[in-house]
Structure 1
Amino acid sequence: MMDFEKVIDRNKTNSMKWDFYPDRYGADDLWPMWVADMDFQTPQPVLDAMQEVVNHGIFGYHRRPSSLFDATTGWLKKRFDWDVDNNQIVFTPGVVPAISHLIQTFTEEGDGVIIQPPVYYPFYALVQNNKRTLVRNPLKETEEGFTVDLEDLEKKMQAGAKMLLLCSPHNPIGRVWSEKELTEIAKLAETYNVFVVSDEIHADLILEGKHTPFAKVAADREVETMTCLAPSKTFNLASLQLSYVVFENSRSQKAYEAHLQREFVGIDNPFATVAAEAAYRHGEEWLESLLEYVRNNVRYVKEYIETNIPEMKVIEPEGTYLIWIDMRGLNKSDKELENWLRKNAKLALSEGHIFGEEGSGFVRINAACPRTTLEEGLKRLKKAYENA
């Protein structure tokens, strides 16, 4: 079983988080806690499966075997009690490219695509780079936490938006949407004939409660639903670029597959295939241990900040290994907060404003790391606060 306390040096491995943060943050002495990948090795069965491919030594053209489909649908059934047939799955080279192709296939230039900020920042580019109209349905901040503004969502759908990009669980807020919330969204999507693309890449990373696939909630309604998933966040396999879309409508699936064929998208690599299959078949025990470790890390961050930096507030995530921290109590502008974090705290964090204007005054911290890594980052934050 993996020792999550073990610190693995990622410097000089072409790691985006550890080697390339100077390009983004303009300094080379920062402590990186930004990119949403983990500082943990993937499960041993995954490493063993990939080693077999290396040992074979031939990396010619590759096709995905039926066993990968079997392992994938088996995982969805086991984790979410979700019955998905192998023929409902279309594999893709990453969730972000998959969403881009879904936008291209099912909307036209100028069509409205709804996002729910503060939200995963590539969503903005996906809409705008494809020349669609960005429609904002900001989350509501309440005393009980963040929730969907259903009244505003209905107005945006009623006005003619064609697609909703649903982030479930939500990044960066960490909300795991309840079945009731998802049902209300499904009702609106059915009423106004809106496509729902549900990005569920963090679905396996549930810290509190349970994840409900949007497609399960929408199953009894006439809602066009496409669900984007991957083993990448779950098992730290992002660079292998393997994801998949689950379709509920075979006609829509064929249209999407035809689009991918026109774009020559679809060739997989053997490392991604064997890694995904091994993870889904043999990675569950590792995942449960990971989740418990991350839960403890989240509790540590919350208690540390409450004790040492009372002007900040931790929005405790229900899902993901990402922590949304409210720093508005410091009374700094986005630029001032950015400079303070980089120059005083010597930290590379994801500033909240990149997720939308609603994220102003917040930051996102990655807690999927050994406790000592987390401790170093928090010590830097405390020192900067005390010296302010």
Structure 2
Amino acid sequence: MYNFDKIVNRKNTNCYKWDSLTAKYEGVDDIIPMGIADMDFEVCTEIEQAFKERIKHPVYGYSLDVNKELAPIIYDRYKKKGYDIKLDDIVIGTGVVYIINLIIRTFTKVGDKIVLPTPYYTPFGTVIENNDRIILPCKMKLVDGIYKMDLESIENQIDEKTTMFIFCNPHNPTGRIFDEEEMLEVVDFCQRHNLLIISDEIHSDFTLTKSFQPIININEFAKNNTFTVSSCTKTYNLAGLKVAFCFISNPQLRELYSKAAKHTGLGSVNVFGIEAIKATYLKGQQWEKEMLEYIKENRDYVLDFFAEKLPNIKVNPSEGTYVLWIDFTKSGKNVEEIQNILINECKVELNDGRIYGGYVGFGRMNIALPRCCLIEACDRIYSVFK
């Protein structure tokens, strides 16, 4: 049994979630940060032990080709998850966002348009714009409380400059796990318009209420035109180690990507990233199982709490991920002031919905924290919004 109720003091560890609070909110103390998507749980002891064993060797020099050592481990893990991949499809990289950045730079041109369903994970938009590409937003529609793709809404905006589609499943920030039928619609849309697909599936272990299927399994077009990016770091709370991987079934695309990775150095992995993949996928299964159960219980607590005590604040019933998408627009408060109210009155930090594509009055809540802290945060929100 692992102890997810334990409170870990992360202050003064150069922790972005905790150590940035003073600078961001000067004069406001005792904030519970529930924005940045890493966990406030200790890593499993098996991972910690693997790092300690590596530290015993006093040299941390350059590594051999990490693909040869790590790809078979990743392959076994993802074949068990149902991925239709081959060993050669796997390429290791520095991190999910770094890999996405490299794919965009390699396979699109300056001025190209990239379809991005909204709300979207903020770094997707940042990477597109920082590379002088153009976001083509595709606003998802809310159907019976569930976010769904609305591809028809952008059909007349697709032109020869539209070259790529960024898909995120499970979806960040809404928590959707897309059905096979929905993914087929995305794939058909991309095939019709000759779009490459980036599929961020880093949250695919977080199947809270339904099963997950990778988009590359949909059909041959998806398999041959998709870059699937993932990592062990989200599931095992190792984001600071910067290690990830990409599945590229099309050999021509894989060769071009690999050349670009060598030129930029983004195919390299740090020493402890290597140990992370080995330790998590070979020894971390029990911790993962218990962590997922704890996250499910946290999710259910928040859903029940808001439904009973704050019914005008709508919490999207996340199917995957450990973040919840919350709609405060009917809370009775000025929607422009929601973030200020949360910080200054509730002393709870959620990520502001505006950074996910302009969703004023929304917030993203990270529920990967000890239950007592989650309960305290909900109580604080209730005391102000009741």
Task: Decide whether the 8 Å contact of 1:332 with 1:361 is kept in 2.
Answer: no
How far is 1:50 from its partner?
Answer: 0.9
Matches within 5 A, 1:29-68: 29-63=30-64, 64=66, 66-68=68-70
**Distance across 2 between alignment mates of 1:126 and 1:32:** 25
**Distance across 2 between alignment mates of 1:307 and 1:221:** 42
How far is 1:85 from its partner?
Answer: 2.3
Structure 1 stretches of at least 4 aligned residues deviating more than 6 Å after TM superposition: none
Root-mean-square deviation (Å): 1.7
**Distance across 1 between alignment mates of 2:362 and 2:148:** 17
Which residue number in structure 2 is paired with residue 75 of structure 1?
Answer: 77
Deviations 1:138-186 (A, max 9, x none): 1111224110002124444456410001111110000001111001111
Which residue number in structure 2 is paired with residue 224 of structure 1?
Answer: 225
Q: How many pairs were matched up?
A: 384
Task: Decide whether the 8 Å contact of 2:306 with 2:315 is kept in 1.
Answer: yes
**Distance across 1 between alignment mates of 2:289 and 2:173:** 22
The 3 A distance-change label for structure 1 pair 369 and 153 is same
- Segment drifting more, 168-177 vs 147-156: 147-156
After TM superposition, the score normalised by the length of structure 2 is: 0.95
**Distance across 2 between alignment mates of 1:333 and 1:134:** 29
Task: Decide whether the 8 Å contact of 1:167 with 1:199 is kept in 2.
Answer: yes
Q: Which stretches in structure 2 are left out of the alignment for 5+ residues? A: none
Q: Is it true that 1:370 corresponds to 2:366 in the alignment?
A: no
**Distance across 1 between alignment mates of 2:154 and 2:228:** 20
Task: Decide whether the 8 Å contact of 1:157 with 1:194 is kept in 2.
Answer: no
Which residue number in structure 2 is paired with residue 3 of structure 1?
Answer: 3
Which residue number in structure 2 is paired with residue 13 of structure 1?
Answer: 13
Task: Decide whether the 8 Å contact of 2:224 with 2:249 is kept in 1.
Answer: no
Matches within 5 A, 1:150-165: 150-157=151-158, 160-165=161-166
**Distance across 2 between alignment mates of 1:78 and 1:222:** 18
Please tell me the residue identity of whatever aligns with 1:133: I
Deviations 1:276-308 (A, max 9, x none): 111111222221211111111111011111222
Q: Which stretches in structure 1 are left out of the alignment for 5+ residues? A: none
Deviations 1:263-284 (A, max 9, x none): 1322322211011111111222
**Distance across 1 between alignment mates of 2:52 and 2:223:** 45
Please tell me the residue identity of whatever aligns with 2:231: A
Please tell me the residue identity of whatever aligns with 2:87: N
Please tell me the residue identity of whatever aligns with 1:308: K
How far is 1:204 from its partner?
Answer: 0.9
After TM superposition, the score normalised by the length of structure 1 is: 0.95
How far is 1:327 from its partner?
Answer: 0.8
Please tell me the residue identity of whatever aligns with 1:90: V
- Segment drifting more, 107-116 vs 222-231: 222-231
Please tell me the residue identity of whatever aligns with 2:319: E
Please tell me the residue identity of whatever aligns with 1:229: S
Please tell me the residue identity of whatever aligns with 2:98: P
Sequence identity percentage: 33
How far is 1:21 from its partner?
Answer: 2.2
**Distance across 1 between alignment mates of 2:355 and 2:55:** 39
